[in-house]
Amino acid sequence: MATFRSIEVSDARFESDNLRFITVKSSNLKGRGDIVVFMPPGNFQGQQLPAVILLHGVYGSAWAWAYKAGVHLQTMQMINAGELPPMMLVMPSDGLWGDGSAYLPHDGYDFEKWITEDVVHVIEYLTETDKVSALFIAGLSMGGFGALRIGTKYHQHFKGIAAHSAITNLEEMKLFVEEELYHYHQQDKSEEDVFETCKKYVREIPPIRFDCGKDDLLIDYNRRLHIQMQEYGIPHIYEEYEGGHEWDYWAKHIGRSLKFFAALL
């Protein structure tokens, strides 16, 4: 069972819509990090629930998926309709570095291990188990970059990966952030590119789906990633829909990723 220097969890008496707010001190962040968790109603203490880590994009934080897309309300509706099993949604901040950390290690922080170590430990802490029944990872834009990279690199932890409107290469971060890209650069340049990461772990990649809006500024990059993966023989699902790089699009299509995960259980 995970232990932390400090962890603060919201009081259930004051929570609403099955959302729990958590702040944990992380050595990877050299300080505190926030996580918002959707816990389906019911007594699941000691039980193994599937969990989805949802990564936000630039400018956002742990609250973004819930309060910009209502993902927790949509998930509850889908559970009640029998479209999803009871599952947790775990929505961490990216570490709140600059306009966005890209979920990479840099500048003395490890935003990647914040997700793969600390956030996973928080799931164990909340469920009082040392393992979830299945762990998935998804994200939008910068969070899509993080989900595709981290889900592939740490494939042993994840049963499925999904992304919406994903950044596919670190160079695309300059479309969104004011920080200079040298901050994000990795010693291993393959760590800066989704396809190159997939090539490194091609035999171990969990099932992947990703989509992008036809009017999205990242559409050409997503199409290129789709073609690269096709040509390299990496199984995946890629879809395009009407819409741009906007919350209306992500709120509309996150349910597709949740159903994709449910089908993998």
pLDDT in tens, 25-50: 999 999 999 999 999 987 666 667 89
pLDDT at 10 over 70: yes
- pLDDT (0 to 100) of residue 29: 97
Instruction: Express as a percent the part of the chain with pLDDT over 70.
Output: 96
pLDDT at 2 over 60: no
CATH architecture of 7-264: 3-Layer(aba) Sandwich (3.40)
Instruction: Express as a percent the part of the chain with pLDDT over 90.
Output: 91
CA 257 to chain CA mean position, Å = 11
Please name the residue that has the structure tokens 């997939």: 198
Q: What are phi and psi of 71, to 5 degrees?
A: -60, -30
**Alpha carbons 93 and 88: distance in angstroms, whole number:** 16
- pLDDT (0 to 100) of residue 42: 79
Residues 6+ apart with CB under 8 A from 174: 181
**Alpha carbons 232 and 219: distance in angstroms, whole number:** 20
**Alpha carbons 261 and 257: distance in angstroms, whole number:** 6
For 128-162, how does the pLDDT look when each residue is reduced to its tens digit (9 = 90+)? 765 677 999 999 999 999 999 999 999 999 999 99
**Alpha carbons 36 and 262: distance in angstroms, whole number:** 21
Determine how many CB atoms are found less than 10 A away from the CB of residue 98: 18
- On whether the CB atoms of residues 220 and 248 are closer than 8 A, the answer is no
* Local confidence band at 102 (pLDDT 50, 70, 90 cut-offs): very high
What is this structure's pTM?
0.96
What does pLDDT average to over the chain?
95
